[in-house]
Structure 1
């Protein structure tokens, strides 16, 4: 029954770019190591193929930072793959000074199988196992990051691993059904029941959400934050949408602040069984401000500060997204714009009804 439910839900929840934005080849000049020819070659990057417990082979990338003090496990949103996310992964690793592991769900990019809820849980478990066994990452060094639909496998993993360093939820969902309807209870056929699992997460949680998100309402992030055991100061980006939080300077500043606080708390409480990093000046989740509310907030096009993401000009803008950016584009002017997700084939009915998250 559960498998049938996940298969049906997958038709509404998953939109892997088609065709994939990248390929994986064995580079004979490097002893047959795997590489992705469509992205810039960098030192300290491993391309991996991992076998999941459900028999699928998923592609992952591990980006090493020479001065890292933690590792970030990133679960991306539903309409992007590793080729599109690679530059954001590199940028996050550099800005936060951490190692980063990103991966494609089953059925995404060059990963085999089909995208389903159960498969994504097996996918994130395979990446977690690889980090522990191949890279020697301890739970206390691991931060798990889930964007949009990626909040599902992220919260599921965090609810089962008690000693993680931290969790980041970027435009998260309460559950699949709650994205579509304002239901008050959880039904058996719902998917990604984050609302029921977040209370089992024992580490500090940072929630970031745009107040103008028309795909996943900001109330999802606010309610999840309310339900967290260890709340960290949230980031409610005024005017932020579902696909553009990275272009706001507050985004990377707040992430840096969170990662640094986790490192300090870990050092200050070595020998303690619990780390608390809740901000003393926590804003109420009902506020539509950010942690930098006193600062003038630049328009996305004016975010030219050192804290704004500056991606390579030849990298498709899709790397900023993990959802159907056509929803965002429909709100803009009539000025022609290159599609951020030109390979997305979601039909008009699904987009109009908001069945993309």
Structure 2
């Protein structure tokens, strides 16, 4: 029964890029492995990890000389390391952290087939690599899960009580809840984050777009309500499923979170008190968007006219990203279908009968 469940879930939830966006290039002369199309960098190491399921994973580790934290990044669907290479460099530089990213079994140049339980073994292998190969400690690690990556992230976080923090980017309540507004958890569901998130004891930051067309914003909001140690969430107004990295608030809020969790526990009481103050109004209004001063202190001195102009310019951030010399145009183009929970065509008629909001995913099925 479990095998059948895993097989059906894999067909519904996992869409590895075909073909992979990169190849592994071995340079015997200097003894290094690189991703095709990317130059060798002294601070980037390409790795092979072995999982307890017997699969071999492709991974990359980005070092920062002044890092006090290490981020273990679990990416979304329909993406692989080739798509995320520039993003990892960007995050490592701006957040001053080390980053380990990996491809799930069956993704990129990783062997095996994608499944829920394989991704649990995958993230465990990546975490073990940080501890054994790079000398990281549990209390120095921040887990980052984007969309489907929130599944293995929350599962591992629920079993590691001393983590520094967790970031959930466009997370899901569960696999089934992406497609159906069910009120209970069924045995055949996958990635039951809704049931596991209360077991996560470290600070949790949730980032979600209010116009997410794939994973509704309500998923992020409900998970935030269930968090034991809440950090001020980031609801990006107008943000969709694959463009949150292009909002300036994204990197500002991440910086603030990383700096906060790197402080001693006694210094964290201030932001905990702030969250306690905003939570009642958030619940009563059904909506909470953090004030702009929480993401950038410079906003305090800006006039209403300046804030309005900044909001209008937020949707043309390509110029700002260009200044960082990061090719986000290429990154966005390659991730248009990132982490889409597309339903298999052979099951469309059966699934349509139980779904009211079918129009929202028509474009996804057509692809």
**Normalising TM by the smaller chain, what interval?**
0.7 to 0.9
1:88 matched residue in structure 2: 87
Contact 2:174 2:194 in 1 (8 A): yes
Tell me, in whole angstroms, the C-alpha distance in 2 between the residues paired with 1:29 and 1:219. 52
TM-score by length of 1: 0.85
Tell me, in whole angstroms, the C-alpha distance in 2 between the residues paired with 1:125 and 1:355: 32
Deviation at 1:6, TM superposition (A): 1.5
Counterparts of 1:126-145 in structure 2, within 5 Å, are: 126-145=125-144
The answer as to whether partners of 1:165 and 1:262 remain within 8 angstroms in 2 is yes
Structure 2 partner of 1:207: 206
Deviation of the 1:36 alpha carbon: 1.2
Rounded Cα–Cα distance in structure 1 between residues aligned with 2:135 and 2:67: 13
The structure-2 alpha-carbon separation of the partners of 1:200 and 1:354, relative to structure 1 and needing over 3 Å to count, comes to farther
Q: Which position in structure 2 is the counterpart of 1:352?
A: 362
Alignment of 1:1-357 (within 5 A): 1-31=1-31, 33-266=32-265, 268=266, 277-278=271-272, 280=274, 282=278, 284=282, 286-292=286-292, 295-296=307-308, 297=311, 298-302=313-317, 304-305=319-320, 311-312=326-327, 315-318=330-333, 323=338, 351-352=361-362
- For residues 162-185 of structure 1, give each alpha carbon's deviation from its aligned partner in whole angstroms, at most 9, with x where no partner exists: 100000000000000000000000
Q: In the alignment, is the contact (CA less than 8 A) between 2:148 and 2:339 conserved in 1? A: no
Whole-angstrom CA distance in 2 between matches of 1:118 and 1:80? 19
CA distance in 1, matches of 2:260, 2:42: 28
> Higher Cα Rg: structure 1 or 2?
2
> Aligned residues, how many?
333
Alignment root-mean-square deviation, CA: 2.9
Aligned to 1:337: none
Structure 1: stretches of 5+ with no match in the other structure: 328-343
Q: Contact 1:204 / 1:278 at 8 angstroms: preserved in 2?
A: no
- Counterpart Cα distance in 2 of 1:280 and 1:288: 13
* Superimposed CA distance per residue, residues 127-186 of structure 1 (whole angstroms, 9 cap, x where no aligned partner): 000000000110000000000000000000000111000000000000000000000000
| Structure 2, gaps ≥5 residues long | 294-298, 300-306, 349-357
Structure-1 separation of matches of 2:130 and 2:161: 16
Q: Judging changes above 3 Å, is the alpha-carbon distance between structure 1 residues 151 and 124 closer, same or farther for their aligned structure 2 residues?
A: same
CA contact (8 A) 1:152 1:193 kept: yes
8 Å Cα contact 2:21/2:83 also seen in 1: yes
Distance 1:196 1:345 in 2: 24
